[in-house]
Every structure is written in C-alpha cells, then in structure tokens.
Structure 1
C-alpha cells in the first residue's frame, strides 16, 4: 500500500471522527437547551403554573340529460354506507335516530374527553387526536423546540394545544407561545381534498410525538399507525363520493361580449361581493358561502380589471360540501343566473353550452339534496367547520 493511499485512509478516518464529534456536540447542545427550558425559574414553587403570558389567538373555521360539470378529487366508487365509525361525543345531546356512527370505534380511549377540545383544531372525525398529561408543567417553548425538526415534514394540518387553567380553555400553541402546562393535546388531520394522510406521514407523526413526550417526561398511549391509516382511507373514500361542484354559464347568445362595468353593477345589485380570490361571492345569513360567480375566461375579476374587461361569459358555481343549505343556495344561484342573463342579454347554459331547461335544473337540485343528506347521515354537516376542513 502506497504512502498516498495510507494518507487518504488516515484523512478519511479523521473526517468521520470529526463528523461524529460535531453531531454529538449538537445533540448535547439541544438537550441542554431543552433542560434549561424545563427548569422552573428560581422564584417559582415546584409544580406551580405561572401565567401563560401573551395569549395565542383562538382562530375560528346528475341525472341524465343535465350534464352539469362535476369537479371531483377522483372518480368516486359506489359507497353504499358511510365509513365505519365512532360516536361523535360532541353531538351527544342531539337525537341520533338511526344515523350511522362516524369515527372508527377502535380509536384510542383518550378521545373520550375530546368534547372539550376546540373543533376547529381537534375534530374526532377529521383528526387523529393524541392527549397526554404531565406531572410537572411543560414549558411551551421547550415543546415547540423539540417538535420543530419533524413537524415541518407533515403535509396535513397539525396542531398542538395546551389547557390554560387560568382561562379555563384550550389554547393553540405556536412558535410564539409562552407559559407552562400539564394538560396537552396534538392533532393531525386525516384527510382533505388532497387525499388521505399517508402511512409514512402517520408514522412520522407518532414517532415524533413519542420522542417529544419521552424527552419531556410525559407518558402517552399511541395507536397503531395502520389503524389510523384505515380510518383516513375510509373518510377520504366517503368524502370523495360526495365532493361535487355544480356549475353553469351565462354566455352572449350571438358571440359578443359582456362589459365588466355592467357585470359588476348587476352582480352587486344581486347582493354579491367581489373578494380577494378574483370572484364574486354570494353569502348566506351566517356569512357562509352560497355560490360563486367567476369569469369564464382566464382573467380573474378585480376592481381595476372590470373597468375595461370584456368577457364572452361568466360561470356560477355551487360547492356542495361547503354550502350549508344546498337546495336554497342552488335556487338563489339559478335566480341570479337568470337575472344576469336578462341584464346582460345572454343565455343560461350548462357546461356543454346547452340551454338549461326546467327538467335539468330540477335534476341538479335533486342531486344536491341527495348528496347533502348523505353527508348528514355520516355526521358531516354541509358548510360546517368539519366540512370546511375535510373539503379544503
């Protein structure tokens, strides 16, 4: 073996040792940081819960011949009954009748108390929820530091919550949170319009939460990732089967164009408002979305663009899962379409440019009612926080 080869081998050994030493130093540095965070200030009694500091804001949420455009995440399979499920404890005071249960009955027992958790971040149907308590208060910054490395790898909505005894309520924990807490919860959404959470993401979530609780001296019971993956797949399959949008157009009958200024005046007279997404929105009495009016062309609407815009058509869209009262919203949308057609001198047509008939309109309305009824039977109220999360 030549001197050069020996020198290269020696250099390689030195590099490996240096990398190992650096990693070991970084690990010890992080552990010392967390331990320093966990150590209560000298002025505190052991076990005391100091004030939480600055509060983190609690954020709120066809039939044959109709040929409406139905936008779906995928071609839905035939779902004859809602996904298997567990009773939604948040609705125990509501009559259930023969309504099917909603979340898998084999979910962990720590969900039994989930009624007190804020539904916009922790929903027993939409989320995998883990809860744990600690003997000693855990500083929010320490927990946030420990989870920062792996939580950014999660693609689905993910939240940490802690119970604030002074406020008597749960608060969401983020990078700016302060305070020390003994009662904790963490949630990961199981499905949305992007599909179900993956097996690998669930495994990463469970491993990460397990590492955090172990480091902080808390105990937690983790469900099997495969069990939660099956829940996610069932939820996604059902949601895909009802995830439909109905739309139709108003076009200029002779091939001409509509002036943007006139269109805006008519839309606002109908109670629609131009919003940041470049479309006019009709809202219900609770400010939920009823339907949307957009440009049939590629250009979004804006206050400036409408002054000079000339378009060959407009599109009205009703998003079935995200609309509270689909039948009422559809009636409003049809009436708005007819008034816009009259005011602009256009024609109300389906997506194949076939003029809408009363039979086609009735068939669409019937389908909307059917889809929303199926959602309610599965404990997903159309337009609710739960629906808005699952169909986002």
Structure 2
C-alpha cells in the first residue's frame, strides 16, 4: 500500500471521527437546551389536574419554540431580530429630495407603517424608557444591556420617522425608546432587574448628555406580577404520546411526517408550520433524542410525542383537531396507541375533555386581549 493510499485512509478516518463528534455535540446541545427550556417542571394535562403548566408542574417536556444561542448569556438588544408586520418591508429613511412615499414599496401609507413600528413596544408588555438627545446624532452602534429579559428598541430620526432597532447609514437620530419585556416564561421581571435596567439606561443617556424618562417603577412591577399570574394560568403544553407495537424506522417516520405536511426543523423536531412560519404543532421523539437526517436513516424510535403549545397557536381548537387527526393517522400507520405520560390509553372522551379545556383557555386569552398565536402571545410565551 502506497503512502498516498495510507494518507487517504487516515484522512477518511479523521473525517468520520469529526462527523461522529459533531453529531454527538449536536445531541448534547439539544438535550441541554431542552433542560434549560423547562427548568421548571410541569404536570401532565392528561391527568386529573387542572392544567399542564409549562412553568410550575412536574413533567419535563420539550418546548416548541426558537431557542437561544448555545452559551449561557442572557438575551440582549440586537440578539433578537425586531418583529415586522407580515408583508412590511424593512423601513428605510428617505432623502429630503425623495418624493416617493416612505412605504410605497410595502403597499402601506406612512402613518400605518409608523403605527406598526411604534406598536413594537407595548406599554402593557414592556417597561419603556425614552432617551431624547439634545441634538440629532449619528450613532455607530446600539447599546447592549446585561438583563435577562428581552429588550427591543425603536429609533426616531431627525425627520421624525420611527424605525425598528436598525441603524441606517447617514441618518441622525433624536430619540430612542428602549422596552424591557415585563413577563416571559421564566416569570415576571424582578425589582432588582428593573433597577439594573434603569441604571444602565441612565448611564447610556449620560454619555450623550441626553434626557431620559421612565414609567412608574412600582406600578409596572405590580402590573408585571398580575400579568405573570394570568400567563401561568393559561400556559399549557399538551403532549400526546404515540406508542407503537414495534420501534418505528426513521426513514418511514420521515416519509409519513413529510407526507402530512410536517418538516424537520433545526430544533430536532418535525413541525407543521403556519403560513407565517410559526409552529402549530410538532412531533418529537419521546426520549427527547433530536431527529436528524443522519439518525433518521439508520435508527428506530420506540415512541413519539405530539406537542401542542397552547397559547402560541393561532386557530385554537380547529388546529388541535388537525393535530389529533395526525396523531390518529400515526396510530394507524404504525399500529400504535395514544397514551398519556403514565402510559394510560387515551379514549375519545379523554381527547374531547382536553379540547373543552382548550376552548376555555382560549376564551380567557381573548377576554384578556391576548389572542393565541398573536405577537403578544409569542412574546409572553417564549
């Protein structure tokens, strides 16, 4: 055997080892994210308890949401892309001599687009700090805040037009509003977190000799706790287990899932997506092993879990019906049973009971003015 052949064999061995190591790392990262996403365990919605709370129960579950970066640092401003209204173009600052309407390309007039941008910060969801510069300034970067909650900003240009947190070349700004989200799935903002945020905002404003104004801190803390209590009452994740008579080959599973309109996403689950791109329901391995193109080729899976993240799903009970129809399709395809987390078989009456509970939850959310699957719901239940 020549030196070249030996070298090629060694190179092939190194490549195989790297691929194996990468897949092992990906699985470790997935399990780590799963533990972090549900550090507060929750009980099973299918047992004799009022709800399956994501926040305060006992049963671990995967949460079908976009996950944060691998490191343990909090989410800061500019780490999360600003929310845009579907169909709206990224805002651009027109030149003074430009006669084209600011939102001509998006089909919206300037007033409507401006209203949408201002609505990115919601006083009912955010603690909004206003920083007003003494004169319009060109900014090279936006600050990053050391806080655990989501921070978003909108900027007002010299011409008085608002834009999301995106600095435009050649544009000077006279005001920035920073919004600290009051509640998410980790709970309500604390007094210490709010004080730290205000201190960091004040320090930023001092650098530019700018004026800063804050809402009443204690009032916002009270409102945050009340909102968090409401969110805890409706924060429910339903998991339906599909247990086959024999382990399911990965290739066959992929074929069935894709034929039903689901697609494999980077979080290691198959998702059924709405036109907006939001997940309506997802299919995961019951043992929390992430699906990948590689393991779907050569592995079998002893059980599956269909996940339905109640407050994040627009369409309510109708989407739940679609998810349950898919679950029943899986039972027929793989000779499986639908069971709860204690392996108790689910009857039609049991599924109907869950559906009735969903209708009540969605009614409570509508009464509160937080529609399931809305921008507000996606922010609160993330």
Q: TM-score range by the shorter chain?
A: 0.5 to 0.7
Residue of structure 1 aligned with 2:179, choices 187, 209, 227: 187
Q: Which residue of 2 aligns with 1:288?
A: 278
Measured in 2, the distance between the counterparts of 1:367 and 1:305 equals 36
- Tell me whether 275-284 or 345-354 shows the greater mean CA deviation: 345-354
- How far apart in 2 are the matches of 1:215 and 1:119? 25
Q: Does 1:70 align with 2:63?
A: no
Judged with a 3 Å threshold, the aligned counterparts in structure 2 of structure 1 residues 310 and 349 are, in CA distance, closer, same or farther, namely same
Separation (CA, whole Å) in 2 of partners of 1:342 and 1:359: 19
Q: Give 2:310's match in structure 1, choosing from 304, 320, 342.
A: 320
Unaligned runs of 5+ in 1: 1-61, 77-114
Q: Displacement, 1:201?
A: 1.3
Per the alignment, residue 341 of structure 1 pairs with 331
Q: Distance in 1 between matches of 2:293 and 2:51?
A: 28
User: Which one of 238, 243, 256 corresponds to residue 246 of structure 1?
Assistant: 238
In 2, Cα distance between equivalents of 1:68 and 1:308: 40
C-alpha contact 1:283 1:291 (8 A) present in aligned 2: yes
RCO higher in 1 or 2 (8 Å CA, sep ≥ 6)? 1
**Contact persistence 2:240–2:307 (CA under 8 A):** yes
Taking the aligned partners of 1:163 and 1:249, their CA distance within structure 2 comes to 50
Question: Structure 1's 202 and 330: CA in aligned 2 closer, same or farther, altered over 3 A?
Answer: same
Partner residue in 1 for 2:368: 378
Q: Distance in 2 between matches of 1:63 and 1:156?
A: 28
Find out whether 1:161 has 2:161 as its counterpart. no
Does structure 2 retain, via aligned residues, the 8 Å contact 1:140–1:177? no
CA contact (8 A) 1:134 1:182 kept: yes
Answer yes or no: is the 8 Å Cα contact 1:73–1:194 preserved in 2: yes
Map 1:221-300 onto structure 2 (within 5 A).
221-253=213-245, 256-300=246-290
Q: Which moved more, 1:210-219 or 1:243-252?
A: 210-219
- CA RMSD in angstroms comes to 2.7
Distance (Å, rounded) in 2 between the aligned partners of 1:198 and 1:344: 48
CA contact (8 A) 2:53 2:232 kept: no
With over 3 angstroms needed to count, the CA separation of the structure-2 counterparts of 1:178 and 1:391, relative to structure 1, is farther
CA distance in 2 between counterparts of 1:290 and 1:225 reads 36
**Native 8 Å contact 2:127 2:215 kept in 1:** no
1:19-34 → structure 2 map (5 Å cutoff): none
For residue 65 of structure 1, report the CA deviation from its aligned partner. Answer: 6.3
Higher gyration radius (CA): 1
Report the Cα offset of residue 166 of structure 1.
6.0
**1:195-242 per-position Cα deviation (integer Å, ceiling 9, x unaligned):** 111111111111222233344233233233222222221111111111
Deviations 1:72-111 (A, max 9, x none): 21259xxxxxxxxxxxxxxxxxxxxxxxxxxxxxxxxxxx
- With over 3 angstroms needed to count, the CA separation of the structure-2 counterparts of 1:274 and 1:64, relative to structure 1, is closer
Q: Distance in 1 between matches of 2:116 and 2:251?
A: 47
CA distance in structure 1 between the partners assigned to 2:118 and 2:314 by the alignment: 17
Give the whole-Å Cα distance in 2 for the aligned partners of 1:163 and 1:378.
31
Name which of structure 1's ranges 116-125 and 228-237 shifts more when overlaid on structure 2. Answer: 116-125
Q: 2: distance between equivalents of 1:243 and 1:196? A: 14
Q: Is the 8 A contact 1:70 1:247 kept in 2?
A: no
